[in-house]
Structure 1
Amino acid sequence: MITMTNKQLICPFCGLGCAVTLKIDEFGRPYAVDAFEGDHVSKGKACPKPFSIPSFLNSSNRLAHPMKRKENGFVEISWGDAIKEISERIKEITKSDDPSSLGFLGSANCTNEDNYVFQKFARAIGTNNIDHHASFFALSEINAMYKSLGIPSLSSTYEELLKSSVVLIWGFNPAETNPVLMGQYILKAKEKGAKVVVVDPRKTKTAWFSDIHLMLNPKTDYALALSLLNVIFNEKLYDKNYSERINLSQKSIEVINSYSPEVVEKICGIQANTIRQVAKLIATSGKASILWGLGILQQINGDDIIEALLTISALCGYLGKEGCVVGGIKNEVNLQGASDMGVLPNFLPGYIDVSNKNEIEKFSKIWGFYVPDKEGMNAFEMLYSSNSTKIKGLYIMGMNPLVLLPNMNLTKKILENLDFLVVQDSFFTETAEFADIILPAATLPEKDGTVTNFERRVRWNNKAVEPVGEAKPDWMIVREIAKELGFESFFSFNSTEEVTREISSVNPLYSNITPEKLKENTSGIFWNINTNDKNEEKFLFLKGFYTPSGKFELQLNETFEIEKQSANLPFLLITFEYAGQHGAATLTRNFSPLMKRWGEAIGELNVETAKSLGINEGDKVKIKTEYGEFSCKVHLTQNIVKDVIAVPWHFGANSIFSCEIAKKYRKPELKVFPCSIIIQGEKQ
């Protein structure tokens, strides 16, 4: 009798956290995916991406065995040899230099257990040089929300969107990148009467569903946000009790007063009366949600923009209120969880600041080794800052920085010049080509563990199939290296559940979460600050904020950055996401139906701009910046502002951005950059 099985697992793509059903044949091979009808998040729906799961699990590009670089390429080696060589090289580097000469890049594509063990390992070695996809996708939000609110997370659950009167969507396109969020929550709110406002320089699919679309000039988001504040503040549309909850400095008031709608109209290209209309709509609605995405998060001054949007929410009393959802929508399946686990240079698990001496002592006592109290470098600083020359070795788990990070040519040279590079991944990525040792890791469907979506819902992911070849769960690999280095007593985990229990014992946000509870509650458990307050399962900030003062801390900056065009670089390059691709396309590039539709970068160019350049529909163009060039075909449209070309970033468009780090924000520009555009083959 042929036995076919169905396994429920968490979709390994965006951070919405949907469950799907993986169909497995009698030989244990996955062959199809369905939406999970009983899922509390997706409501039984699915976007195109999870249907690629069987293809990437069976891909010939999977890493099945440890490998070592030799003169003529990579050769397979045993796990024992790989672990021994890695531990010896780590000892060599830390003996001649201090532990801060090592850097660790974790992954928002791995489980909480993987990331927890990884960051603990880095700190056992003696460094806080640890980061993950957060620098690329969420650094601005983590900085701004921690400073203003005391915790970086969505303010309430997705269900509250259904009660919103206004949904403001700023800098992302959920109709394509998060279709379930759009269809099951935002559009259902609209059906109930909510007004949808979209802020984007492109008329995206999401904008087609909007009641108001603010098609602003790129890089003017901060000015627009300040102008909305200007109207709310000066027309006294705010919650009259706001002063009890907000520390609003006189300097911030002066900044707000400088950005009247009339001033900002000339900057953003949005009419002053429309700015006033939107400000009044948000402030008087009683229940408004404000959601942002990569269009904000990847801008160099994303911190400022998010602080302004948070201030709008705080002034109107929308933080911790029913029918109001405020926060960022992240790309990766476990970006929230990896951040919660402390895979960050400045935070221990639970967003405990590494400079907090009392907490450092507590963690040192619990873990059994001294935890470093000096803030480490983030991913950009490890590679591009003036201190990056101190980094001799890099251990990368489940991340492909060569595609994610800017200035690909320079990044290649930096990776080549490292004394030692370990890449631990499920696929032979572009970054893996530069590794000294490659370690094969299990994918999410091939292992147990927990995942946290961006509404703070923690769920148990069930192992559905066996890993390919000799691939192992990431935490197990790290444990074996730790043991080889003599850290066995600190990493004595024998199961995923044991790691989950230790997380619960040390991370204050996860103190109510155990493997037993998660397996009983398949819909998940929400982490919260006060585990005795059941209301905090759905709402943060009900009784105030988690800052030292208990108030919303606000200090708006006077200026905002605008990338200026020049005679040689007269246009702006912006990036966006395809509906059928994900991140660096490591998983989705293995599914031919997705690649057939979304398999190459097609730039979007305004019809009038194209006409002035002699460019026709389908022409191949070369986009040039000071840091390189990128070629793609173009689609001509009226749905983008003039003198801007928009390109999907999954195929390396970031490679021609600058990697120069702004000291204030600790990151480079990743969203908007001056460029020139010429037809491919045309003389320059």
Structure 2
Amino acid sequence: MTMENTAYINNKPFRIEPGETILQFVRRHQGRDLIPTLCQSDNLENYGSCRICSVEVALREGGPSRVMASCHTPVAPGYYVYPSTEKIKRLRKNILELVLSEYPAKRLSPEPGMLPTEFQSVVASAGSPEVRYRRKITEYDKDKSRPYVWSDFTECIKCYRCVRACDELQTERVLWIHGRADKSRIIKDFDRSFIESTCVSCGACVQTCPTNALFDRFSAKTLKADKIVRTTCTYCGVGCNLDVKVSDGVVRAIQAPLDAATNRGHTCVKGRYAFEFYNHPDRLRSPMIRKNGTLKEVTWDEAYDYTAKRFTEIKEKFGPDALAGISSARCTNEENYLMQKFMRVVIGTNNIDGCARVCHAPTAMGMQWAYGTGAATNSIDEMYKTGCILLIGANSSAAHPVTGARIKAVAESGTPLIVIDPLKIDLARVAKHHLQIIPGTNVAVLNLFAYYLLKEGFIDEGFIANRTEGWDGFRKYLEALDVDLQEKICGVDREQVRAAAIEYGSAATAMEFHGLGVTEHWQGTKAMTLIANIAMMTGNIGRPGTGVNPLRGQNNVQGAADMGVQPHQGPGYLDITNPEIIDLYNSYYDISHPTKPGYRIPEMFAAAARGDLKGMWIMGEDILQTDPNTCHVRSSMEGLEFLVVQEIFMSETARMADVIFPASSFLEKEGTFTNGERRIQKVQKVVEPLPGTKPDGQIVVDMMNRMGYPQKGYSADIILKEIAEIVPFFKGVKWDELGINGKQWPVLENGTDTKIMHTESFKRGKGKFHSWDYEDSPEMNENAGQYPYILTTGRLLEHYNSGTMTRRTPNRELVTEDVLFVNPHDAETKGLVSGDYARIFSVRGATTMKVRVTDAVRPGVLYTTFHFPEAAINFLTSGIGDQYTLTPEYKVTAVDFEKSLYGIFTRAECLSIVKTKQDA
């Protein structure tokens, strides 16, 4: 240490870090007990109002001192900090006496069997100061109108941490300070109850509140737990860390850890509260075999033996390619690795695919074509360093809530935000530019965007010359672009596109994020390469605050693809047609590895329909709910001779199974998830699996051994070691070294991870430009005449995918149904008002939904979500997919609609309507 970086605590020298406050300095060296706080929280901006954190500071040992608030005063070299002098202790007692004069004395003790609140602990540590002058206590009614977040402002001490958490972390601004001085109080919106407010139930206010003025149904802050286990969330691709409280072997509550790199003490309503599905009565708790047409409970041994027998019979009679597997992004890296290994090494086929096929496969392919790798180039936190954010086809406030809240905070702080989306999403309302395109026209608007970057001179010639190839062809393509045509196709005024392009191009750094609104299209892969073009032509690659960053929809969709859950690439994206790779696999696994690319999921359905595919093992996917053109999927699956489904609930797909394996939830297993920024994080077993269930990985290992392959016993450590030996960018990944924040691949052999990709060169050598014309989707070409409206789909914050988990939690009280967004012009044409029911029909089928009239969609466009099976939205969607990956075009379905007098159709009625249409 030198004098330039040294300060003192009680006359002892300690090193200071640049930019830290006195409070941070003291806590880093001496722990949290020396200085109490009330208005301060580690994940909020320093406020400095309560002064309970005051310390004495001198410039020399024993010299004259000043009292300073440590939470917002920077520490400086040469400071002598005295955190607990008699003067400071008296000051803290005086401050607490003022606070306690308005606090109910009867609530100063913890509730029976509970931990003390933060405020109760601070009061106790100060010796419970005597209160000489008590004011009249205002008693407020408890507000339990929402299922999770509750309030009792009788205990409010006016630290306003809740207001700041709502503003800074979630950016919703639901909580306000109403009144002045001693008349001030917290209100929700315009003094409403929680249920009437715009609260999104993230729980940030509850977690930060130092009293029980804000609390939740689980008493998460004060609940005594036998243990607290750190794990990773099972919902979206943000990869929030969770601290899970367990008592008596049961999960009781979840909080967001402040030291988590991914979420920094914040998470959403699903991650924090929607966990009770894990021990819901509907959980499958025994293996089942279909006997005489009925599923019957059996022992594990009987289920394993029967499955192994049937798989062997099919393989021997029809060959290994008569079997296929579908793996799951809900499962860990280790489990996905094992599932693809089972299909390739035990069965001998590359017929393995996963849910990336129905979401981000075009991202992976397009980015591999352009850069050589199909993953995010940068880290989410870099948005705080960027000069511009470009968000394309992603309603991140609903689908990636923590990331969405951060983008909103950055935009509100002044960083320009550009949104390209057919829906007027929440973030569009704070964006500087919203290009509200017609669904399916990404290629047109991106070409127009790139055209204006070129025309206005926002080109990084040095980067292009040194780091890319194919620029001359793309430049000539843009110079010849028909601007009038692109404007007409995408439905956005060219000047709006020009202004947005100038915003992006003029920023010193610009960062792109995108979601399924880019990929789930006929031209998804092509649009992805154009996004890559835009980043390269402006030099926005390989630097902090730049890059191309897919917002992954599921918790481990990135990891599942990394592990080889795709029919044309093995673990590590290694090409299974490359002889050198096959030699590597043959040597490592001591088998003859299959070399023929396997079926993708839509091809599996086609193969089953024509009789070429005889058996399937589906792990953690409900294809009858989530894949498009439900009737086609069902009829295809009926052509199988043998179907195994591995699930935690009796899904629609499980109802068709010949064998059911009851699996464990994320809370009952160990392994790793890889989030959307390539961060490999630990999933730690919180509780034991429910009786009768097993972790997915254990089931696969058991089946491998049952079929004669000697797979080592299942544990995250053992399987991760095997993965590190075969996947190049996992080479340095070790279970014991992942820590609490994981590592971002590629991880070198020495354990060093990678925050930013492509800093010096691309994986493929040079980045490659691609040129594409816009093409109408066959769905619109063939059906728009009879069905003139475009239906596009998305997600709600409160539910997840088909709702299998969230509908089995109190989230079902927050949102009870999917609704149809209709533009006011179209609603008037059809004679509809909000609350009416509409019948929506496509060439494939029909359903009914409640209508919401809103300007969030443009005329001619309808929008809905897909969380409730009653909506049966995939009875309408088409089997048309991306030209290169077959990813279904969920975002463009040709439909018509009309007013319905009969309310919601049942699922059986939807099937009847479809059958009638088919018979006709």
TM beyond 0.5: yes
* Aligned partner of 2:800 among 577, 582, 593: 582
* Aligned partner of 1:605 among 813, 822, 828: 822
CA distance in 2: counterparts of 1:271 and 1:649, whole angstroms: 31
Contact 2:835-2:851 within 8 A present in 1 as well: yes
Contact 1:619-1:679 within 8 A present in 2 as well: yes
Does residue 189 in structure 1 map to residue 407 in structure 2? no
| Residues 279 and 15 of structure 1: CA distance in aligned 2, closer, same or farther (over 3 Å) | same
Q: 1:537 — aligned with what?
A: 754
Deviation at residue 319 of structure 1 after TM alignment: 1.4
Does residue 493 in structure 1 map to residue 708 in structure 2? no
CA distance in 2: counterparts of 1:624 and 1:127, whole angstroms: 39
CA distance in 1: counterparts of 2:793 and 2:784, whole angstroms: 20
| Cα shift readout 1:285-315 (whole Å, capped 9, x = no counterpart) | 1210111101112112110111111100011
Does residue 225 in structure 1 map to residue 442 in structure 2? no
CA distance in 1: counterparts of 2:417 and 2:510, whole angstroms: 10
| Cα shift readout 1:373-406 (whole Å, capped 9, x = no counterpart) | 1111111111136986321111001111111111
Deviation at residue 611 of structure 1 after TM alignment: 0.2
Equivalent position SS for 1:370: coil
Deviation at residue 553 of structure 1 after TM alignment: 2.0
Equivalent position SS for 1:7: strand
Does residue 480 in structure 1 map to residue 702 in structure 2? yes
Contact 1:624-1:677 within 8 A present in 2 as well: yes
Unmatched tracts of structure 2, length 5 or more? 1-112, 114-223, 903-912
Q: Which residue identity does 2:769 align to in structure 1?
A: L
Does residue 591 in structure 1 map to residue 809 in structure 2? yes
Q: 1:647 — aligned with what?
A: 864
TM-score (norm. length: structure 1): 0.95
Q: 1:624 — aligned with what?
A: 841
Contact 1:230-1:260 within 8 A present in 2 as well: no
Does residue 560 in structure 1 map to residue 775 in structure 2? yes
Q: Which residue identity does 1:148 align to in structure 2?
A: A
Alignment: residue pair count: 674
Q: Which residue identity does 1:102 align to in structure 2?
A: L
Contact 2:609-2:637 within 8 A present in 1 as well: no
Deviation at residue 191 of structure 1 after TM alignment: 4.7
Does residue 201 in structure 1 map to residue 422 in structure 2? yes
1:141-160 aligned at under 5 Å gives the runs: 141-160=363-382
Contact 1:161-1:325 within 8 A present in 2 as well: no
Equivalent position SS for 1:537: coil
Q: 1:84 — aligned with what?
A: 305
1:400-415 aligned at under 5 Å gives the runs: 400-415=622-637
Q: 2:523 — aligned with what?
A: 301
Contact 2:390-2:419 within 8 A present in 1 as well: yes
Q: Which residue identity does 1:561 align to in structure 2?
A: D
Equivalent position SS for 2:500: helix
| Residues 398 and 386 of structure 1: CA distance in aligned 2, closer, same or farther (over 3 Å) | closer
Deviation at residue 157 of structure 1 after TM alignment: 0.7
Equivalent position SS for 2:599: coil
Q: Which residue identity does 2:507 align to in structure 1?
A: S
C-alpha RMSD of matched pairs (Å): 2.0
Equivalent position SS for 2:611: helix
Larger displacement relative to structure 2 (454-463 or 28-37) = 28-37
1:112-511 aligned at under 5 Å gives the runs: 112-124=333-345, 125-183=347-405, 185-241=406-462, 242-248=464-470, 251-384=473-606, 389-488=611-710, 491-511=711-731
CA distance in 2: counterparts of 1:141 and 1:387, whole angstroms: 29
CA distance in 2: counterparts of 1:216 and 1:677, whole angstroms: 21
Larger displacement relative to structure 2 (354-363 or 64-73) = 64-73
| Residues 385 and 299 of structure 1: CA distance in aligned 2, closer, same or farther (over 3 Å) | farther
Contact 1:148-1:552 within 8 A present in 2 as well: yes
Q: Which residue identity does 2:378 align to in structure 1?
A: S
| Residues 205 and 559 of structure 1: CA distance in aligned 2, closer, same or farther (over 3 Å) | closer
Equivalent position SS for 1:671: coil
| Residues 265 and 149 of structure 1: CA distance in aligned 2, closer, same or farther (over 3 Å) | same
CA distance in 2: counterparts of 1:343 and 1:662, whole angstroms: 18
Does residue 15 in structure 1 map to residue 237 in structure 2? yes
| Cα shift readout 1:574-632 (whole Å, capped 9, x = no counterpart) | 1011111111212111112x112223111100001110111121111111011111211
Contact 1:617-1:635 within 8 A present in 2 as well: yes
| Residues 142 and 269 of structure 1: CA distance in aligned 2, closer, same or farther (over 3 Å) | same
TM-score (norm. length: structure 2): 0.71
CA distance in 2: counterparts of 1:603 and 1:329, whole angstroms: 25
CA distance in 1: counterparts of 2:737 and 2:686, whole angstroms: 20
| Cα shift readout 1:456-510 (whole Å, capped 9, x = no counterpart) | 111111100111122111111111111111112xx12353211111111111110
Equivalent position SS for 1:650: coil
Q: Which residue identity does 1:103 align to in structure 2?
A: A
Equivalent position SS for 2:253: strand
* Aligned partner of 2:890 among 665, 670, 683: 670
CA distance in 2: counterparts of 1:206 and 1:193, whole angstroms: 14
Deviation at residue 674 of structure 1 after TM alignment: 0.6
| Cα shift readout 1:421-443 (whole Å, capped 9, x = no counterpart) | 00011111111000000001111
Deviation at residue 31 of structure 1 after TM alignment: 2.3
Deviation at residue 239 of structure 1 after TM alignment: 0.4
Q: Which residue identity does 2:795 align to in structure 1?
A: E
Contact 1:154-1:327 within 8 A present in 2 as well: yes
| Residues 502 and 176 of structure 1: CA distance in aligned 2, closer, same or farther (over 3 Å) | same
Contact 2:315-2:322 within 8 A present in 1 as well: yes
| Residues 506 and 400 of structure 1: CA distance in aligned 2, closer, same or farther (over 3 Å) | same
Contact 1:104-1:396 within 8 A present in 2 as well: yes
Q: Which residue identity does 2:807 align to in structure 1?
A: R
Equivalent position SS for 1:622: strand
CA distance in 2: counterparts of 1:665 and 1:337, whole angstroms: 18
CA distance in 2: counterparts of 1:106 and 1:386, whole angstroms: 18
Equivalent position SS for 2:825: helix
Deviation at residue 235 of structure 1 after TM alignment: 3.4
Q: Which residue identity does 1:367 align to in structure 2?
A: Y
CA distance in 1: counterparts of 2:643 and 2:367, whole angstroms: 33
| Residues 666 and 466 of structure 1: CA distance in aligned 2, closer, same or farther (over 3 Å) | same
CA distance in 2: counterparts of 1:656 and 1:70, whole angstroms: 33
Deviation at residue 511 of structure 1 after TM alignment: 0.5
CA distance in 1: counterparts of 2:631 and 2:614, whole angstroms: 19
* Aligned partner of 1:528 among 746, 755, 763: 746
Contact 1:231-1:260 within 8 A present in 2 as well: no
